[in-house]
Structure 1
Amino acid sequence: YSADKGKTIHLSVELADPTATVKWLKNGQEIKPSAKYVFESVGNKRSLTINKCSLSDDAAYECQVEEEKCFTEVFVKEPPVTITKQLEDVHTVVGEKVEFEVEVSEEGANVKWMKDGVELNRDTAGSRYRFKKDGRRHILIINEATKEDIGTYYAFTNGGESRAELEVEDKELEILQSIADLTVKASEQAVFKCEVSDENVTGKWFKDEVEVQASERIRISHIGRTHKLTIDEVVASDAGDYTFVPDGYALTLSAKLNFLEIKIEYVPIEEPPKIHIDTSGCGN
């Protein structure tokens, strides 16, 4: 016996003894009467009605009369679920949240998600993807998009499919104030400062391509959109090329630190020449 999901199923038997009682079993377990399972006894006919059958009603059924038994199988078919709202292409930047949404014809329907031919599910997708159901809406969520997420995404039902493309580009970061070259003397303070358009952007400082590490003399700060590198008590070895690199962006800000060395030369003071005046030949 086969029926579509949500339909009503009627199972019936005829007995030789109209007074006999019967038991109905599903996969070997006795069925108790309820709003879903309705028993009926008219004359020598016994019937079982299954209301609003679901996929869980797909089973083997048995009717017992004392030592006699009869069997049948019920197959519940899920009706074709169509896609009533298609996926839409998404164009975004790195780090943004992405949502792909389809709407299907039946609530509770199964929707399978795939990316570039590989199925996405809770077991294989890990924390990278989330799946949400809201009535007939099914949503695939990517929390923070990366370049690895670029590709073709599919939603499948047993009666339709939909596809969409995801494009992910690097973020554009506006430089509001770049770092400037500095010329400082020994023991003075050097401050490199820049300002970017996104206050949440972090970054790293480099000197001659080696990352700068904070110390008692060197301070690195990030307040709002402003990033600073402060060097106290500048010495000659601090001179070089300094670079700020925002995390997640293909750009760098560079400047030079020039060390101004003041040389003091010692010039000995020469005594003025002595002049001797001979007055012995002068008369009074």
Structure 2
Amino acid sequence: MSSPVAGNKITWEVSSSSSGSTSVLSRTSLRCTLLASICGSSWSRGGLRCSSTRARTLARTRVIAKRLPRKLDVMEGENAVFCVETRDVVEGSCWSRDGLQLRESPRTVLKSFGRTHLLVLVHVTRQDAGIISFTVGESQTSSQLRVKCVKHDPPSAPVAAEMSVVETNTALLTWCPAPDSHLRPASHYLLERREAAGGEWVQCLATDLPSSVRVLGDSVPREADYCFRISAANKHGRSSPVEFPGSVHLAPAARVERGLQDAWVRDGEDAQFSLELSAAVHGSWFLNGARLAEEEDTGGRWSVQRHGMEHSLLIRGARLVDSGAQVTFVSGGVRDSAILHVQGDQGTHLGVLPGPQQQGLSLPAGMPVLLECQVSTPDAPVCWLKDGKAVPLDDVMAVQAEGCVRRLLLRSACPSDTGVYTCDTGDDAVSFVVTVTEVPVRIISSNEEAPHTYMAGQRVELWCQLSRPAAPVRWYKDGEEVEVGQSLVLEQEGPRCKLVLPCAQTQDTGEFVCDAGGDSAFYTITVAGEIVSSNEGASHAYMAGQRVELWCQLSRPAAPVHWYKDGEEVEAGESLVLEQEGLQCRLVLPCARPQDTGEFVCDTGGDSVFYTVTVAGGYNRHLHPSPSSLSPGLCVLSTRRRRRARWRCRRGTV
């Protein structure tokens, strides 16, 4: 508490309300400051008066009965609790950290219970450290919050590291977790490698497997002897590495990127052979099956070199006796060979350049053909022949010369280009066998995906579009080749082929296939009958004189229908009536007779239904013919239910 005054002598007086006594402090200064910092003393319970010879100032402190500790140490993650008690119940209190007011939040709890005021910081972190202050009015108490971090140790190093090299070009590395791994568990393991000859350790693998890992030769950048070490790690760090005892020879799988080529040299010249692999691996050179040393031999005849992925062999002073020698390079699964050609001073000699065609080439029509050979001198003339005749040079066929290389180019081959091509220098000749095959026919489009459900009598058309016109195709139904006739027509116009059924029948249902040789289209055809429903399944047993009605429901109106009885077409008349209304056709016998017994057939051409009709004989009850209809001498039996039967004749009654 401070008070500015004027004068040379300043006096502070402290009056205690409890004892009524007064203490006097004096100090000569332009500004005098009194710090009442003793909690619970009488200094904080009375009034303070600052006076000088010219002025007097009065002040009264607000009492904080229980203050905060000077500092509070809390472990990271625990709760920090601050408690302050005031003399009286007060309002307007404030908690702050480093001068910034604290607000209620899930991690900050502010509570007041009468004279008790609480601040709880939940799960403190290092960011919560600072000066925590409680202020009410002009009174304040503070505490320094110190957050101690929990020490997290990285996992311990693995133990029992071992290396197994039983498999070729493979290393099996095994280890065990540290004995205290349950206290400081590892989330993953880091594997490092380096060449046994020296160099830096390079991380090559991170695995969560706690016991073993298999390292293959394909995982290393180049062929060498390698050492390995492993360390355990988690989010708090990594252990010290443990090195696996010994080393292993690993080599990546290589393939030929640029192969060997035959060499043509004159007698006494040096011959150079080289190839490039996809990986840096070791290899061996062989001359006519004999392995050549890595270094130059004592006579200085050859030199073997390797630069990265390129291997080369230099044969110095090749002689005529060396002509035809085979040079071979071997490295693991890679093997490549070339021939050494040594020529004299006279004559021009030819050799075939290595390539996909070699000296025999088979390809589909439309593809380009390139034939290459190499002459011994750049200015040597050559002549290209096909089947013994000079090839015609046009827009399709052309010859090229580049240094010692001679080429014949067919820009777009066709089957007629098949033959034996020869490059002739007069002194030497090289031949190539070229076979050009017809491009397989493909079906570009068809209507096989369309629905192929038809009614009997409808027209069916199946078609497919071929990749080239006039290509031969075959049509099959249910695995058997179809036969052309009135009911099945095959058409072909340019690249489009069609199978047509002018009037489909139910027996045409099945799978049709258009086979173009290398491609096929499949069509599933369903032909439904024209007769949708009928009463053929009903009982057709009648008594003589009863009405008989045979009917069938057609799939389309006005379809032609024929009725047959016992194989013969019926004739309409008084005793047999034929009716057709819309989709329904009927055969009616108004008064059936025993001779009407038989098999009736309703035939639509593509579909039929059968009715077996039986008409039993006997007299007809309730028959009352008119007298005029009775013939002379004709008698009729007439009866009623439960009455006596009576015969009636034209001339009287019996």
TM-score scaled by length of structure 1:
0.50
Structure of higher RCO (CA pairs closer than 8 Å, 6+ residues apart) = 1
Greater C-alpha radius of gyration: 2
TM-score scaled by length of structure 2:
0.26
